[in-house]
A and B are shown apart, each in its own frame.
Chain A
Amino acid sequence: MTSVLVPDSPSPAPAAVRTRRRRGSSTLARAARTRRGAIGLALVGIVVAIAVIGPFVAPYSPTAFVTSPFAAPSGSTLLGGDVLGRDVLSRVLAGGWLLLVMASAATVFGVVVGAAAGISAAYLRGSTDGLIMRSVDVILAFPSLVFVLLLVSIVGPKLWLITIAVGFVQAPPVARVLRSATLDLSERDYVKAVELQGMRPAKVMSSELLPNLVSPLMVELGLRLTYSIVIMAGLAFLGFGQPPPAPNWGYMIQENRIGLSSNPWAVIVPAALISVLTVGANTFTDAIARVVIGVERQGDDATLASTLGLGNLP
């Protein structure tokens, strides 16, 4: 099909093209300038600010008993009391930073491992591919939360273990996405051109393939961050997070839900913060993906969902 937008088009104006350079930073900047991106970034920013500044501005100690259980909000306890009569506001302000740190660490770990596995599987093919993808199959056979629970049941609810385990379950979907992206790229003639020089596979992957995979990698980072937060919060909700007296948004929902009718804020506020964070992260990721595939310019996101469609479940 001869498209309307000329394939053999003349050189576009240099100014218009300059914005497409320096892939990483400019894509993020452009995503942030779109409406979705700005909204997503603002949502994430609010929650991060609360989680980071919160511990320093909390009116009470998160573990101090300052009011009666499930006390309604009052002048001294703005969000009322929790199941044991601790200040909900103080617990909210102190209970987010660890979730953020652990989710970020898990995301980076998962994406790095997954990307390395996916790219090598696709480029090296053969038995490497078989081994990596069968392992991916085995890990995927456990629902991600179940996999983490299995490890927790063996070793116990250690924070380092939860971080690594959550990162580990993020790796298989990343590996699948990057494998298919790399399979596509490694058939490109520019890769064949350097293979014809006898370039070593490690160098081909790092200098020819990786720069072209920055876009899917950024989208994956965003998606995986969203799901890491979801899984971490879910584990905490189930009681497999920090041990009890410590404040934690996920566990606050669990321990305070029996008092929903007396003081719903003890549940609503931590649930809302978690939601704002994940929705914000997902929205910003969507903005990145749209910039990457040019939807922002062409108003067509048919390819968006097919890029994101597979392997993006938690």
Chain B
Amino acid sequence: MEQAVDTVREAPPSEPRWAERHPIAALFARRGAIGLVTLFVVSLVVFLATEVLPGNAAYAVLGHTATPARIKAIEDQLHLNRSIFDQYWSWISGVLTGNPGRSFANSQSVWSLVAPRLVNSAVLVAISGAIGTVLGLVLGAFAALRKDTWFDHLTSVVALAVTALPEFVVAIALIIVFSTVLLHLLPAVSLIPPGSYAWSRPELLVLPVATLVIVIVPYIMRMMRAAMIEALESDYVEMARLEGLRPWRVTFVHALPNAIAPAIQVVGLNFLYLAGGIVIVEDVFNFPGIGQGLVNAVSDRDIPTIQLIVVILAAFYVFVNIVTDVVALLASPRRRLGR
């Protein structure tokens, strides 16, 4: 089409002025506010779901041995006879002050049960996420540069297959290959002695990390490949070529920075995915993290533990979303600086 379409140019931005001048602060404020509201609603949902729906906490604790007298006793212990609002308030203030109550399973403080698991899971997510991100971005960029070669075709077919595999299948396959049937190189389960943390025995981390990396790399790779191809086929890259710039400069100075911004979004999504992915991977490898803790708590109907872990995961979601948005904003001068 030869003429620019007019209507777009006639629609000026409707953002307020302050936000235009401080886009990062504005984004922080908006995202932070939305995040807090989301967290509040999540906490309400978790609380109401676990406390009010049929099979309430007291019943959950006692299971089929429940008698009215025992239910009453538990309810008194948990302040369940108070109003919903009071209960929510005492729970949420407990969570916020680091005192989220006691486990139904063994009466220990929930926090002391969850804290070491949280550290282990954080290590797992951080290592897997870092390796997966770097690997995915590099492979994706490389596939884009080698578009339509055997490397590109191979990686895209492998990625297509791997994205569809359930995590436990990947994990079991790794166990079969490296620890039981074929080879005996690595431990099949990551039993970490109580009181020590995941990094104390690095070999225990290898298979869980490998599983998570295998699961996230294809997503990041595909997105990076697409973003990179789009950048490589853009007018400004064509222009850079027509100026006689060297290929490495065209690739790394002109195309790559423009491909990073969309890739960041998918990296963020994959960190979020890891927060759910650890549930199954930790279960397979008996890795003592919050994922395994959640599965155990669900089996035991240990409501306070479930509540705390779910709220932690939701907070992680909000945090990653904010970080992703800010990094994506920093990567784009157009959005960062305004006109």
Chain A residues at the B interface, C-beta cutoff of 8 Å? 1-2, 7, 134, 137-138, 140-146, 149-156, 226, 229-230, 233-234, 237-240, 250, 253, 257, 260-261, 264, 267-268, 271, 274-275, 278-279, 281-283, 286, 299-306, 308-310, 312-314
The reply to whether A271 and B172 contact each other, CB–CB distance below 8 Å, is yes
Do A283 and B160 have beta carbons less than 8 Å apart? yes
B49 touches A (CB below 8 Å): yes
Q: How far is the CA of A226 from the CA of B235 in the complex (A)?
A: 37
* B176 A264 Cβ-Cβ under 8 A: yes
| A100 shortest CB reach to chain B, Å | 15
Question: Which chain A residues lie closer than 8 Å to B160 at the CB level?
Answer: 279, 282-283, 286
B19 interface residue per 8 A CB criterion = no
C-beta contact mask, B298-339 vs A, less than 8 Å → 1, else 0? Answer: 110101001001100110011000000000000000000000
Q: In the assembled complex, which residues on chain B have CB atoms less than 8 Å from the CB atom of A237?
A: 166, 168, 280, 283
Contact B295 A238 (CB under 8 A): yes
Residues of B within 8 A of A141 (CB): 38-39, 42, 313-314, 317-318
Tell me the nearest residue of chain B to A2, going by C-beta: B2
Contact A142 B181 (CB under 8 A): no
Q: B49, A154: Cβ atoms under 8 Å?
A: yes
Known contacts A138-B38, A230-B166, A234-B167; A306 and B317 CB within 8 A of each other:
no
Measured in the bound complex, the distance between the Cα atoms of B168 and A275 in whole Å is 10
Alpha-carbon distance between A284 and B266 when the two chains are bound, in angstroms: 23
With A145-B276, A281-B164 as contacts: A155 and B55 at CB distance below 8 Å:
yes
Indicate if the CB atoms of A267 and B226 lie closer than 8 Å. no
Closest Cβ neighbor of B50 among chain A residues: A154
A residues within 8 A CB of B111?
none
Encode contact with A along B138-162: 1 for CB under 8 Å, 0 otherwise: 0000000000100000000000110
Q: Judge whether B53 and A1 touch: CB under 8 Å.
A: no
Whether B272 is near chain A, meaning CB under 8 Å from some CB there, is yes
State in angstroms the CA–CA spacing of A134 and B35 once bound together.
Answer: 10
CA of A150 to CA of B280, assembled, Å: 15
26 A-B pairs with CB atoms under 8 Å apart are: A134-B37, A134-B41, A137-B38, A140-B272, A141-B42, A141-B314, A153-B297, A154-B49, A154-B53, A229-B166, A233-B166, A234-B166, A234-B167, A238-B279, A253-B172, A260-B176, A264-B180, A268-B176, A271-B169, A282-B164, A286-B160, A301-B226, A303-B226, A306-B230, A310-B265, A310-B266
Q: Is B225 interfacial (CB 8 A cutoff)?
A: yes
CB distance from A147 to the nearest CB of B (A): 9
Q: A155-B53, A238-B280, A264-B181 known; A275 and B169 CB under 8 Å?
A: yes
Considering only residues 283-300 of chain B, those with a C-beta below 8 Å from chain A are 283, 294-295, 297-299
B235 partner, pick from A1, A261, A275, A299, beta carbons under 8 A: A1
Task: Please determine whether B219 and A313 come into contact, CB atoms closer than 8 angstroms.
Answer: yes
- The residues of A that contact B176 with a CB separation of less than 8 Å are 260, 264, 267-268
| Interface membership of B273, Cβ < 8 A | yes
Q: Which A residues are in CB contact (< 8 Å) with B161? A: 279, 282-283
A141 to B317, CA, bound (A): 5
B41 CB, nearest partner CB in chain A, Å: 5
How far, in whole Å, are A278 and B295 apart by their CA atoms in the complex?
Answer: 24
Chain B residue contacts of A153, Cβ below 8 A: 50, 60, 297-298, 301, 303, 306
Closest 9 CB pairs of A and B: A143-B276, A305-B226, A282-B164, A141-B314, A278-B164, A153-B298, A141-B317, A302-B229, A260-B180
Name B166's contact: one of A1, A142, A268, A274 (CB within 8 Å): A274
Residues on the B chain within 8 Å of A1, using CB: 235
Chain A CB within 10 A, most for which of B172, B222, B297, B303 = B172
Are A279 and B2 in contact, with the CB atoms below 8 A? no
With a cutoff of 8 Å between Cβ atoms, the chain A residues found around residue B318 in the complex are 141
Any A CB within 8 A of the CB of B76: no
Q: Which residues of A contact B181 (CB under 8 A)?
A: 260-261, 264
Whether A239 contacts B172 in the complex (CB less than 8 A), given A141-B317, A233-B166, comes out as: no
Known: A137-B34, A141-B38; 10 extra A-B contacts, CB below 8 A, are A7-B1, A150-B49, A150-B306, A155-B55, A230-B165, A260-B175, A275-B164, A275-B166, A313-B219, A313-B269
> How far apart are the CA atoms of A251 and B294 in the complex, in Å?
18
Known: A150-B46, A278-B165, A301-B226. A313 touches B272 (CB 8 A): yes
Q: Are B226 and A279 in contact (CB under 8 A)?
A: no
How near does chain A come to B50, taking the closest CB pair, in angstroms? Answer: 6
The distance in angstroms between the C-alpha atoms of A308 and B55, with both chains bound, is 40
Q: With the chains together, A305 CA to B263 CA distance in Å?
A: 11
Give the distance in Å from the alpha carbon of A309 to the alpha carbon of B140 in the complex. Answer: 13
Q: Is B262 an interface residue (CB 8 A)?
A: yes
Q: How distant is the Cα of A28 from the Cα of B259 in the complex, in angstroms?
A: 32
Chain A residues within 8 Å of B280, by CB? 145, 234, 237-238
Asked if B173 and A271 make an inter-chain contact with CB atoms under 8 angstroms apart, the answer reads yes
What distance in Å separates the Cβ of A250 from its nearest Cβ neighbour in chain B? 8
Set of chain B residues within 8 Å of A230, measured between Cβ atoms: 164-166
Do B55 and A142 touch (CB < 8 A)? no
In the bound assembly, the distance between CA atoms of A35 and B323 in angstroms comes to 41
B13: interface (CB < 8 Å): no
Report yes or no: A142 in contact with B226, Cβ–Cβ below 8 A.
no
Evaluate whether A146 and B266 lie within 8 angstroms (CB atoms) in the complex, with A141-B318, A275-B165 already known.
no
